[in-house]
Amino acid sequence: MSEEFLLLNPGPVPVTDRVRRAMDEPMISHRSAEFEAIYERAQDALEYVFRESTLDGRVTNDDGMALILNGTATMGMEAAVANLADDDSEVVALVNGKFGRRFARIADRHAQCTRVGVQWGESFDLGVVANTITDETDLVTMVHNETSTGLLNPVAGVGAIAAEHDARFIVDGVTSIGGDVFCIDDWHVDIAITDAQKALAAPPGTSAMYVTGDVESAIGGDDAPFYEDLDWHLRKAESNQTPFTSAVPLFRALAVAAEAIVDEGLPDRIRRHRRQSTAFRAGFTGMGLERFPTAADATVYSNTLTAVELPEVVRADPDAFFDAVAERNVSISGGQAHLGGEIFRVSNMGQFADEQILRGIRTVGEAMVDAGADVDPEAGLDAARGVLELQRR
């Protein structure tokens, strides 16, 4: 009998039975008091996540508001840019992966966009960033955890540069918030965005953003997109509502998932994600594989997903490797865009047990052997077990 299906893609991630059951409850009106109670539960839990994503439980902002959006994080990214910029605004977008590029493409539609770009998987030079952001810069966009490459980008350093020039700072925290440290005020973040289907471990279809009190007065107006009018969203959120029809089952699921984060506590959750990501890296390198991204200076490896190079022999027929993984009832992701056939990616976002991390490593090792790669799966498992046992103490 095959093992239970294991979803290791970097989103959507697995959801718990409690989250699934929440979506099965009877339908209610999105304008009812019952729905407002659901929104309030979700918002309260999300504000904990946005404000206290620290290892010591420290609150990093206390004057902003969490908003829940009827759309994925791309909606949040566009809403943030479109509400803070217009045709004459200068936006500096940092790009070292697919989602940094998405931010830049959004900015192109709403403002004048200048890119600070490096090869996907390479680290930013903060000196170049400092030379690009000027007193004429109105807005800076950046991805904290670049999902396409497995790098944790230096938001703190870029935020400090943006603050020196009084530029607004929007950060995509889609695959970090809920799984790693994120400090709103310390990093000079004005708007932070995350997605239900990533480290929050809820179903896809909704997203959330945190709007700080300092930036509220600069938001929107009549030029804001109708559906993404953040001023309207903020006003409706004060009464635990959204401007338009809400995806009631998804809001219920998000409330349950976010409350599970509160119950676990962010310090413990962050440490768990860091331990398991370290085990993934140790396991893959221990069996003889190479990491994909290049972490240098203030840039480090992601703590919620891991990107690894495919060996040359596997690149010749990557489908053989991915098919061998799927035959073991495990799902992982390949590279995106030009990285297709070059790398694979696995996630530890959500509620994984250590045994599932080890199964993922074993599956990759066995599939590599099937595809003709010269790797040692047992050596990888030994390395990963050592990390998990040492860091569990």
312 and 353 share one domain: yes
> In which domain, by residue range, is 356 found?
6-12+266-392
**pLDDT tens for residues 210-227?**
999 999 989 977 889 999
Confidence check: pLDDT of 146 > 70: yes
Q: Is residue 232 part of a domain?
A: yes
Same domain, 300 and 239: no
Q: Is the dihedral of CA 289, 272, 159, 144 positive or negative?
A: positive
Q: Single out the residue of 188, 222, 183, 251 nearest to residue 31, CA to CA.
A: 251
pLDDT digits (tens, 9 = 90+) for 100-130: 999 999 999 999 999 999 999 999 999 999 9
Each residue of 331-361: pLDDT tens digit? 999 999 999 999 999 999 999 999 999 999 9
The continuous run of DSSP H or E covering 18 comes out as: helix 17-23
For position 131, which CATH number holds?
3.40.640.10
Token pair, residue 169, equals: 């700072």
Same domain, 226 and 367: no
pLDDT at 221: 75
Say if residue 37 is in the same domain as residue 164.
yes
Say if residue 253 is in the same domain as residue 314: no
Does residue 1 lie in a domain region? no
3-state secondary structure (DSSP) of residue 114: strand
pLDDT tens for residues 226-238? 999 999 999 999 9
Q: Based on the domain organization, do 375 and 246 belong to the same domain? A: no
At residue 376, the pLDDT reads 98
Do the domain assignments include residue 62? yes
For residue range 275-309, list pLDDT tens digits in order. Answer: 999 999 999 999 999 999 999 999 999 999 999 99
Segment 228-252 mean pLDDT: 96
Which of 217, 246, 264 is a domain's end point?
264
Q: Based on the fold, state whether residues 325 and 209 are members of the same structural domain.
A: no
Tell me what pLDDT residue 186 has.
97
Number of domains composing the chain: 2
Mean pLDDT of 183-199: 98
- Answer yes or no: is pLDDT of 393 > 60: no
pTM of the model as a whole: 0.96
Q: Is residue 141 part of a domain?
A: yes
Domain membership of residue 134 (yes or no) is: yes
Same domain, 68 and 185: yes
Q: Flag whether pLDDT at 260 surpasses 70.
A: yes
Query: Is 253 in the same domain as 301?
Result: no
Residue pLDDT, tens place only, 362-379? 999 999 999 999 999 999
Looking at 264, 281, 313, the residue that finishes a domain is 264
Domain assignment present for 374: yes
Whether residue 193 is found in the same domain as residue 90: yes
Does 386 lie in the same domain as 359?
Answer: yes
Q: Give the residue from 264, 289, 306 where a domain finishes.
A: 264
Query: Above 50 in pLDDT, residue 1?
Result: no
Q: Is residue 304 part of a domain?
A: yes
Q: Are residues 37 and 99 in the same domain?
A: yes
For the chain, give the mean pLDDT: 96
Domain assignment present for residue 42? The answer is yes
3-class DSSP string for the chain: CCCCCEECCCCCCCCCHHHHHHHCCCCCCCCCHHHHHHHHHHHHHHHHHHHCECCCCCCCCCCCEEEEECCCHHHHHHHHHHHHCCCCCEEEEEECCHHHHHHHHHHHHHCEEEEEECCCCCCCCHHHHHHHCCCCCCEEEEECEECCCCEECCHHHHHHHHHHCCCEEEEECCCCECCECECCCCCCCCEEEEECCCCCCCCCCCEEEEECHHHHCCCCCCCCCCCCCHHHHHHHHCCCCCCCCCCHHHHHHHHHHHHHHHHHCHHHHHHHHHHHHHHHHHHHHHCCCCECCCCCCCCEECCCEEEEECCHHHHCCHHHHHHHHHHCCEECEECCHHHCCCEEEEECCCCCCHHHHHHHHHHHHHHHHHCCCCCCHHHHHHHHHHHHHHHHC
Q: What is the CATH number of the domain that holds 324?
A: 3.90.1150.10
